[in-house]
Amino acid sequence: MSLFNSKNKEALNNPLWKDNPVVIQVLGICSALAVTSQLEPAIVMGLSVTAITAFSNVIISLLRKTIPSRIRIIVQLVVVATLVTIVSQILKAFAYDVSVQLSVYVGLIITNCILMGRLEAFAMMNGPWESFLDGIGNGLGYAWILVVVAFFRELLGNGTLLGFQVIPDCAYEAGYMNNGMMTMPAMALIIVGCVIWAHRGISKDE
Amino acid sequence: MLKKIFDTLRPTFTEGKLSAFRSVFDGFETFALVPNTTSKSGVSIHDSIDSKRIMSMVVIALMPALLVGMYNIGYQNALAAGALATTSCWSMFLFGLAVMLPKIIVSYLVGLGIEFVVAQWKHEEIQEGYLVTGMLIPMIVPVGTPLWMLAVAVAFSVIFAKEIFGGTGMNIFNPALIARAFLFFAYPTTMSGDAVWVAKDQFLGLGHQLPDTFTCATPLGEAGAGMEITTDMASMFTGLMPGSIGETSVIAIAVGAFILLWAGIASWRTMVSVFVGGALMAMLFNSTGCASNPAVAQIPWFEHLMLGGFCFGAVFMATDPVTSCRTEKGKYIYGFLIGVLAIAIRVLNPGYPEGMMLAILFMNMFAPLIDYFYVSNNINRRAKRAKQQ
């Protein structure tokens, strides 16, 4: 059995575009609105979710035959909570500024629907390697939407990207102003809507 | 004569090489002439007032407020330059016209451009709703708003408040107010504060150059800052006070209101109940006071109704037939709550000196709910009556 047969490739690739957790399943919207006002926290958040989804998928997939089905949710929660705590501690140790910006949203990854959805729908029925790929795929599918939204919000809201000023000073002198609404969550919702719009426009599957 | 031009042009657009632009042609034709189509089946009676004719009527009703607004731009500019005595009426008005025209042109170009593109793309007729919105948007922004900001706000409101809901007649929120709300939240420094209410630059040699640092607060802004209002009743009535362009003159808005009511376009129920709601709420605050914002709470109720965008909103925004209640009784509740909320926002939230915009948008959201309860209430009553007999 090869590591990347067509079924495994599908598990990795589908969530990136065809079955994207944010724009198709509309999951994880809460954090997509909350952490995307700057590009840097959005990238960190995307990577954290990717890591947690991948490893919790692997762990649950290894345990799937021993977990009694009546208490499976609590077991999944314990696994996810453990991983979230680890990630949160790592962020505090090595990227303190970003972890302050993300504040409670790292802890709230526990309640991210994408995670529980993948554990229930995929990891409980598949082997560890497939589950790992599925977790990576879904995490990255979530992350790239976050990065796109954060790109527009930071560019138009603050005129910067990753903290560096992108829009030149002469534009400001000519009368250009940053769009304050871009820094509010309401605008993130509209940008997510635009991403969904573009996505449906490009892929004609539905 | 017009008809002849359209008749000779029609084949080029319907079959000829310009057929890609037939919706544009159709839009201009029905704008200029009453369409000669009749319903194909069944019995139905039309009068020749279609929505394009209604829209033109509203634009006519807006004219008095617009003209006074233009004059007021020049007046405020001359007043601020201290040259009131030496500046003639006409040059004040021409200055206002010169400041105002680019705003109107930008608003129509951007808005109608988007409408044309969408109509062509969806193979639909061009919808006429933008005729009114395009006139309203320049009238409800401060005179200091830059043109590019206006264009961005127009594009935002036409796309996100109107087209994604299905175009004219389908929108939940008033697109003109969405444009203003967008500007208000996106660029707060150009939409409120003291520096945006007077035109500062000379335009085509008209008007007076003012220093960039010149500031002038609106009456509501003054009250919000805890100062005495310096505007007297007469200026509030005629509209010679700082404010958004179209909203200052009570008397011009009253003329517009009469035109709308005479033509049977706007609902008197909505208008009256907005004023009643606002007056009652203002009286309530007058008697109770408000610890956090005492100066605004103490504005007498009749001045509350004349200041800011209250009149303009009540006459031209709240009565919008698309976004207000459809049921006649529902209009009383809808209007009353707009008045109450507008004054409540003014008094209770010092961050928003003007509450009319948010109050109308908020009640736009509730209009379908009010309608729903009235309709279901009516159904229940009739069902009960039928059972008794």
A105 pLDDT above the threshold of 70: yes
Is there a contact between A46 and A143 (Cβ–Cβ < 8 Å)?
Answer: yes
A192 near B CB under 8 A? no
* Subunit contact A177:B160, Cβ cutoff 8 A: no
A75 near B CB under 8 A? no
**Torsional sign, CA B204, B206, B207, B209:** positive
ipTM of model: 0.81
* Mean pLDDT of all residues belonging to chain A: 86
B77 pLDDT above the threshold of 90: no
- Both tokens of B352, joined, read 């928003």
The residue-averaged pLDDT of B196-218 equals 59
* Subunit contact B186:A175, Cβ cutoff 8 A: no
B182 near A CB under 8 A? yes
pLDDT in tens, A141-167: 999 999 999 999 988 888 888 878 888
**How big is the A-B interface in CB pairs under 8 Å?**
21
Q: Is B18 left (phi over 0), alpha (psi -120 to 50) or beta?
A: alpha
Written as one string, the DSSP assignment of B329-341 is HHHHHHHHHHHHH
A188 near B CB under 8 A? no
* Subunit contact B185:A177, Cβ cutoff 8 A: no
How many domains in chain A?
Answer: 1
Helix axes B250-262, B268-288, angle to 10 degrees: 150
Q: Is B242 helix (H, G, I), strand (E, B) or coil?
A: coil
Which chain B residues are Cβ-neighbours of A172 within 8 angstroms? none
Q: Is A85 helix (H, G, I), strand (E, B) or coil?
A: helix
Residue among A175, A176, A180 minimizing CB distance to B188: A180
Which chain A residues are Cβ-neighbours of B187 within 8 angstroms? 177, 179-180
pLDDT band at B300 (very low <50, low <70, confident <90, very high): confident
Does A2 reside within a domain? no
* Subunit contact A182:B186, Cβ cutoff 8 A: yes
Spatial distance between the Cα atoms of B286 and B302, rounded to a whole number of angstroms = 11
pLDDT in tens, B45-54: 555 556 677 7
The model's pTM:
0.82
pLDDT band at A60 (very low <50, low <70, confident <90, very high): very high
A179 near B CB under 8 A? yes
What does the pLDDT read at residue B33?
59
A175 near B CB under 8 A? yes
Residue among B148, B160, B186 minimizing CB distance to A180: B186
Could you give all domains of chain B from N- to C-terminal order, each with its CATH number?
A: 51-376 (1.10.3430)
* Subunit contact B185:A180, Cβ cutoff 8 A: yes
Does A3 reside within a domain? no
What does the pLDDT read at residue B20?
57
Q: What is the span of the domain harbouring residue A104?
A: 14-202
Core vs surface per residue B252-290: b (16+ CB within 10 A) or e: bbebbbebbbeeebbbebbbbbbbebbbebbeebbeeeb
Which chain A residues are Cβ-neighbours of B192 within 8 angstroms? none
**Cβ neighbour number for residue A194 with a 10 Å cutoff:** 16
Nearest CA in chain B to A156: B186
Nearest CA in chain B to A197: B164
Does A73 reside within a domain? yes
A106 near B CB under 8 A? no
Which chain A residues are Cβ-neighbours of B190 within 8 angstroms? 177
The H-or-E segment that residue B356 falls in is helix B356-388
pLDDT in tens, B341-379: 998 888 887 777 678 888 999 999 999 999 999 999 999
Per the model's pLDDT, the better-predicted residue between B189 and B253 turns out to be B253
Helix, strand and coil percent figures for chain A, each rounded to 5: 75, 0, 25
pLDDT in tens, A108-147: 888 888 888 888 888 888 889 989 999 999 999 999 999 9
Nearest CA in chain A to B185: A181
pLDDT in tens, A72-91: 889 999 999 999 999 999 99
Does A5 reside within a domain? no
